[in-house]
């Protein structure tokens, strides 16, 4: 499984991008299935990652924001809930489940689910290779099992380590989890690729504002961001080539996904790296731009090449799907996900009533505490501070511009009741009114935009 970090659905060529170059990732779509309504379980990273590892909704695990989380909003209207600082060591991960069937397992890249008892080696991974720290030039100091040459670009080293894992374990079942740091901020690309995209931008007619976005000047035309994505594509290509080299391609399920939507605010270096248009907003928000992700799955002989699936799926589904693909029965804890094998084999539906989100935090990207439910084509968002409800038909209105809550009160009430019942079932923590709320002081989440607006 390849997992990009902060990659938006509009960032890949196969999803319509015309600036970034992702031939290896795009090839997964031509050789497998492209999902058009795949969702992350949260609009920020750690909760989505725990949903992948455990098959559980983040609200059930207590990890509902990135680890360690952001509590620097003393004057915000709501007092955010306390975020767990690590995954509970008692959780059974997909790696632990697959090891029961004899799988060699590796996590190469960004774990971000806590250390010590919750770290990857304690959660079923034979090999855990991660950076020590990333330098401003994109190189890194070596972390566990990951030593690179001086100045070597971090994503390139991840790729070489992953290729070696495949080669070393070619004669046994293997599970490779490759969670990249790219294209998460800080924006640092390989210098040769940055120069390439700077030249490409000069040769094109792309101008700021060409892509739909709620922030002025946002489009997929950032040379450094494009360079970071190409490095991810290179790594994907290197692993796929190694599978080919050892005759493993037909026996291997390959999935590519992202942990949340692309960043669409000037959170770092006063730059907006991408746009999720036509979807609204991005990372940190429960609108579609924050949670709708690229998902590509290839498995020759099982998944029809060039197929497309419009059934809504979510990141809790990876655990039961991978377990089913590996023939592991009754693996791990009960999950909130569903087995996607019927879809991968050409079926039209899976047995699911609704998809849920719970994000009781303020985000650096200006997102606010909220929850959401999608049932069929309908999506309801509840904003916790003022109780506002927004209802959208995301099939007819994917940009979520036409709030139908007032005009469709019965549907709004029914979905809201279903959302509240789900929160009770999973034990979701709710934020409370902040006694220190001061409307005269902007809450700290506005600092990035304010600073950048001031130049």
Q: In the structure encoding, which two tokens stand for residue 22, read together?
A: 């992702």
Q: What is the DSSP letter of 265?
A: S
- Cα-Cα-Cα-Cα torsion 365, 419, 295, 319, nearest 10 degrees, comes to 110
Spatial neighbors of 371 by CB under 8 A, at least 6 apart, are 286, 356, 357, 358, 359, 360, 381, 382, 384, 419, 423, 428
Q: Report residue 410: phi and psi, to 5°.
A: -65, -45
Q: In the structure encoding, which two tokens stand for residue 450, read together?
A: 């304010």
Q: In the structure encoding, which two tokens stand for residue 244, read together?
A: 């080919």
Task: Give residue 446's pLDDT.
Answer: 52
Q: Beta strand pairing status for 370-375 and 355-359? A: antiparallel
Q: In the structure encoding, which two tokens stand for residue 78, read together?
A: 């709501």
Q: What span, in angstroms and rounded, lies between the C-alpha atoms of 2 and 140?
A: 20
pLDDT tens digits, one per residue of 63-111: 999 998 776 688 889 988 989 999 999 999 999 999 999 999 999 999 9
pLDDT tens digits, one per residue of 199-237: 998 888 655 545 433 444 457 889 999 999 999 999 999
Q: Report residue 181: phi and psi, to 5°.
A: -85, -25
pLDDT tens digits, one per residue of 145-183: 877 777 789 999 999 999 999 999 999 999 999 999 999
pLDDT tens digits, one per residue of 380-405: 999 999 999 999 999 999 999 999 99
Q: In the structure encoding, which two tokens stand for residue 452, read together?
A: 């950048």
Q: Which of 95, 154, 101 is nearest to 126 (CA)?
A: 95
pTM of the model: 0.95
Q: Which residue has the tokens 């792309």?
A: 206
Q: What span, in angstroms and rounded, lies between the C-alpha atoms of 210 and 29?
A: 25
3-state secondary structure of 297: strand
């Amino acid at each position: 499984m390849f997992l990009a970090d902060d990659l938006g659905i509009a960032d890949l060529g196969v999803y319509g991008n015309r600036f970034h170059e992702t031939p290896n990732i795009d090839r997964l779509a031509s050789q497998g299935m492209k999902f058009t309504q795949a969702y992350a379980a949260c609009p920020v990273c750690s909760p989505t990652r725990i949903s992948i590892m455990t098959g559980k909704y983040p609200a059930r695990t207590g990890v509902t924001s990135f680890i360690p989380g952001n509590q620097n909003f003393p004057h915000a209207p709501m007092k955010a809930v306390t975020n767990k600082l690590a995954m509970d060591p008692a959780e059974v991960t997909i790696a632990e489940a697959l090891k029961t069937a004899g799988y060699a397992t590796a996590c190469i890249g960004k774990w971000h689910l806590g250390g010590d008892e919750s770290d990857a080696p304690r959660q079923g991974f034979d090999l855990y290779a991660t950076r020590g720290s990333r330098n401003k030039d994109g190189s890194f100091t070596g972390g566990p099992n990951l030593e690179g040459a001086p100045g070597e670009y971090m994503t390139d080293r991840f790729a070489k380590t992953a290729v070696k894992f495949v080669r070393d374990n070619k004669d046994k079942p293997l599970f490779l989890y490759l969670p990249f740091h790219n294209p998460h901020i800080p924006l640092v690309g390989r210098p040769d690729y940055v120069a390439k995209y700077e030249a490409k931008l000069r040769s094109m007619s792309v101008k700021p504002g060409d892509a739909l976005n709620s922030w002025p000047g946002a489009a997929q035309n950032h040379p450094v961001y494009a360079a970071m994505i190409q490095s991810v594509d290179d790594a994907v290509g290197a692993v796929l080539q190694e599978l080919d080299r050892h005759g493993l391609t037909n026996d291997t399920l390959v999935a590519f996904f992202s942990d949340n939507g692309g960043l669409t605010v000037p959170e770092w270096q006063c730059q907006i790296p991408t746009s999720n248009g036509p979807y609204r907003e991005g990372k940190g928000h429960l609108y579609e731009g924050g949670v709708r992700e690229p998902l590509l799955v290839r498995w020759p002989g099982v998944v029809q090449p060039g197929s497309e699936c419009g059934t809504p799926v979510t990141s809790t589904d990876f655990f039961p799907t991978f377990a089913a693909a590996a023939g592991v029965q009754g693996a791990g804890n009960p999950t909130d996900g569903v087995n996607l094998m019927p879809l991968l084999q050409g079926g039209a539906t899976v047995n699911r009533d609704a998809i849920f989100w719970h994000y009781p935090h303020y985000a650096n990207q200006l997102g606010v505490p909220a929850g959401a439910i999608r049932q069929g084509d309908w999506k309801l968002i509840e904003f916790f501070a003022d109780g506002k409800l927004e209802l959208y038909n995301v099939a007819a209105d994917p940009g979520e511009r036409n709030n139908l809550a007032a005009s469709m009160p019965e549907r709004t009430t029914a979905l809201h009741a279903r959302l509240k019942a789900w929160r009770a079932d999973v034990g979701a923590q709710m934020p409370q009114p902040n006694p220190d709320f001061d409307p005269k002081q902007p809450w700290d989440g506005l600092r990035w935009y304010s600073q950048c607006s001031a130049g």
